[in-house]
Structure 1
Amino acid sequence: MPRRVLRRPRAGESVLLPPETVAAIRADLATVADDVVDQIIREVPPYEDAFSGPMGETIRGAVQVALGGFLSLISDRRGPDALAPRASAVDGAYQLGRGEVRSGRTTDALLSAYRIGARVSWQHLSAKAVQQGIDPAQMASFAELVFAYIDELSAASVAGHQDESATEGRIRQRMAERLARHLLVGAPEATVLASAERAEWTPPTTLTAVLVHESQAGSLLQTFKRGTLLTADLPELDGDALLMVPDAHDRARAVLLRAVRGRDALVGPPRPWMQVRESFDRAVRARSLGLTGDTELHLPRLVLTADPRALEDLRAVVLAPLAELRPAAAAKLRETLRAWLLHQGRRDDVAAALFVHPQTIRYRMTQLRELYGDRLEDPATVLALTLALGVEEESG
């Protein structure tokens, strides 16, 4: 419904109240303010404790200022200062809306308070106007101006509420991003805790890093738990966004994994919230290997590729007996040795895995024993071969 816009009555219009009527109504403003506040307290639960003490006196004063501004507007005052009380009242309403955000109250509660204020104020104002002998035509115009004025004030309060909400939202987002950076750069614990307090963020038990394309981060943020931290302002992200999801461990991890299903996302392990950098680092490394989804499913690959140069050296050492063979022959023996290790020497299982006859496996294993000798029975050699050939399987 379009908001009614209050205009100042033009000279000669009958809606202007005579000075004695205005004076009579003005003398009753303190009583009106008290009644408005009492009714709001009774009918709007969020305000039940809001008007106690100094806050109640402030609101009562604001109601009187607002109504006094209206009376000045409809009186027969003229000159450049005629609209000053109205401007002051509108500004006060705007600031009231901003203050309601800081007090944690919604626009629903605010508008409910205005509706009650309008009803109670009109009851008082109309009764006083009738006592002063205002005729029906003037009363109708008077009513229209009263409710248009209160509409204007409520609209100003809503605008203040919206502006303050947007400002607070931006501030909280900046504070949350700063907290995320502190967590990831390893800032001192006192710094991190102070940052969390400024962001009004309650530390969880764990945080889990989730890497996702920046275009999908906003929708995922709405899906995840309240308190999820979001940042895209890190060099390592390279077009991705990082979400740090609170308490997504144990059974809650399954919920998190369902939320990212079908997206090109990487989910790190849950870590104590101050150690979330570990979860982030693992997700970043998984991404560098071209992996997706749950990093817990890629642990062998992540372990085996943790130190690529050390792995190259290990492979060179433990596969040295095959170095003198032709490449094709060496490849077949490596394949056979890997299957033999994985199937714990069960020849039929090895043959089935490689789609060859068991006699072929016997022949190849004879070759390998000639090349390695007793070392194939040495646990340390078996472990080294498993590591060296395991990454070959993961990469294949």
Structure 2
Amino acid sequence: MAIESDSSESRTPADIVRRLRPGVGRVTDEVVEEIRTRIPEYARPSDDLYLKAVRRAVEQAVTGFLDRVEHPDGPWNPEPFRLIGKGEAAEGRDLEQLQAAMRLGARVGWRRLTELAGPLGLSPQSLYDLGEAIFVYLDRLADAAAEGYQAARAHSAGELGRRRDRLLDLILTRPPAAPAAVADLARAAGWRLPRTVACVALDDQHGARRTPALPPDVLAGLARPVPCLLVPDPAGPGRAQSLEHALRGRRAAIGPAVALPAAATSLRWAREALELSRRGVLPGGLLRCQEHLATLVVFKDEELVSALAEVRLAPLAHLRPAQQDRLAETLLAWLRHGRGAGEVAARLHVHPQTVRYRLRQLEELYGDQLTDPDIRFELEIALRARQAVLADR
């Protein structure tokens, strides 16, 4: 930066800086006082250590500016100001307070320069050049501080995310981890221990590993082989609605609510329900295990279910495959949704007369068996299993 002088005396940047350096302490005091007065976040009259840190930062900035004026092509070390930005992030302040403090410092520096223009013999052009240099320097300080601030925030968020990942792993460990270990890691992750939890198994067959917009206390394990969520206090106010909104359009299964040490059990049931949903045994969308417990229990032993199906579906075995499919579909709808032909027809999207014809065929095939509650229950199990096998093909 070339600084012109008036005609009476030649002033080089080194001359000007040499005259200004003795006043660094006074300018620093003025800037610190201005910051403490105008920005409440920096006013800590009883905290001597903090005030010393603020003063040291201001003195670094003032001295650094003089160094730039004296040696404009010299090396630029932004690290001290990145550290200041990191410190602001650690204090939990918004970056705006730091930027406001820098602007105040620049104004104080400019004011001092205008007061000294006469004694220093500065021409208007030289004063203008120094003023421009102040604001160029201010931009560099602000950029360095912003880099440090964002880096600290990203590191903090990343570290918190890693702690939450480790916490989820620990909670889902089998056998359950020691409660004290879970409590310690939960505290480090900023996660409040809930009374109950429910695990959600997420379908990732279509690569849908997008991050849902989840409540902040939900632990997400989206990188797991079977992506999952751990939901604290699942019966809490608004919890069901927030989950439905976050998981809309995605196949998922919510396990039963359990105590925290049994979280792995909730996840196991959720995964089994999700698999049955994929196979068509249970509906798609957002599936709640507590609404399908009987089906989950029945399908725990599929070999036994297959043996049951062989016995209960024997009356259909001699029919052509297409006939078997039509009658099995009609019988399952009749068992699940009521015994009226109209309701079954609506479910199957066929004419009620068609349903009545099929039901007469089923009565001929099964006879009095359709009046036995136990046999009807076993028939529904067998027909659901048949539906699942067809869906898998």
TM-score normalized by the length of structure 1: 0.72
Q: Which residue of 2 aligns with 1:242?
A: 228
Q: 1:109 to 1:328 in 2, by over 3 A?
A: farther
Amino acid at match of 1:392: A
Amino acid at match of 1:136: P
Q: Which residue of 1 aligns with 2:297?
A: 303
> Helix, strand or coil: the match of 2:200?
strand
* CA distance in 2: counterparts of 1:109 and 1:41, whole angstroms: 11
* CA distance in 2: counterparts of 1:336 and 1:242, whole angstroms: 36
Q: Which residue of 1 aligns with 2:158?
A: 170
**8 Å CA contact retained: 1:25, 1:125:** no
Equivalent residue runs for 1:237-316 within 5 Å: 237=226, 241-250=227-236, 251-289=238-276, 290=278, 291=282, 292-296=284-288, 297-312=291-306
Q: Which residue of 1 aligns with 2:63?
A: 68
* CA distance in 1: counterparts of 2:358 and 2:318, whole angstroms: 19
* CA distance in 2: counterparts of 1:360 and 1:286, whole angstroms: 34
* CA distance in 1: counterparts of 2:184 and 2:120, whole angstroms: 62
Q: Residue 176 of structure 1: CA displacement?
A: 1.9
Q: 1:35 to 1:342 in 2, by over 3 A?
A: same
Amino acid at match of 2:382: E
> Helix, strand or coil: the match of 1:122?
helix
> Helix, strand or coil: the match of 1:243?
strand
Q: Which residue of 2 aligns with 1:355?
A: 356
Give ranges in structure 2 of 5+ residues lacking alignment: 346-351, 388-393
Question: Which segment is superposed worse, 287-296 or 145-154?
Answer: 287-296
Q: 1:215 to 1:247 in 2, by over 3 A?
A: farther
Q: Residue 182 of structure 1: CA displacement?
A: 1.3
Amino acid at match of 2:63: G
Matched, 1:16 2:12: yes
> Helix, strand or coil: the match of 1:244?
strand
Q: Deviations over 1:353-379 (max 9, x none)?
A: 96259988887776549xx9xxx5xxx
Q: 1:366 to 1:32 in 2, by over 3 A?
A: same
Question: Residue 29 of structure 1: which of 9, 13, 24 is its match?
Answer: 24
* CA distance in 1: counterparts of 2:13 and 2:341, whole angstroms: 108
* Cα RMSD for the two superposed structures: 4.3
* CA distance in 2: counterparts of 1:326 and 1:216, whole angstroms: 41
Q: Residue 64 of structure 1: CA displacement?
A: 0.9
**8 Å CA contact retained: 2:85, 2:147:** yes
Q: Residue 54 of structure 1: CA displacement?
A: 0.6
Q: 1:360 to 1:314 in 2, by over 3 A?
A: closer
Percent identity at matched positions? 26
Q: Residue 63 of structure 1: CA displacement?
A: 1.0
> Helix, strand or coil: the match of 1:355?
helix
Give ranges in structure 1 of 5+ residues lacking alignment: 1-7, 377-381
**8 Å CA contact retained: 1:101, 1:165:** yes
Equivalent residue runs for 1:355-394 within 5 Å: 355-356=356-357, 367-368=368-369, 382-383=373-374, 385=375, 387-394=377-384
Q: Which residue of 1 aligns with 2:200?
A: 209
Amino acid at match of 1:249: A
Q: Residue 180 of structure 1: CA displacement?
A: 1.6
Equivalent residue runs for 1:98-177 within 5 Å: 98-177=86-165
Q: 1:198 to 1:304 in 2, by over 3 A?
A: same
Q: 1:46 to 1:207 in 2, by over 3 A?
A: farther
Q: Deviations over 1:246-297 (max 9, x none)?
A: 4443542033113322223333344444433233222211222215323324
**8 Å CA contact retained: 1:9, 1:74:** no
* CA distance in 2: counterparts of 1:302 and 1:328, whole angstroms: 30
Q: Residue 123 of structure 1: CA displacement?
A: 2.0
* CA distance in 2: counterparts of 1:135 and 1:345, whole angstroms: 102
Q: Residue 98 of structure 1: CA displacement?
A: 1.6
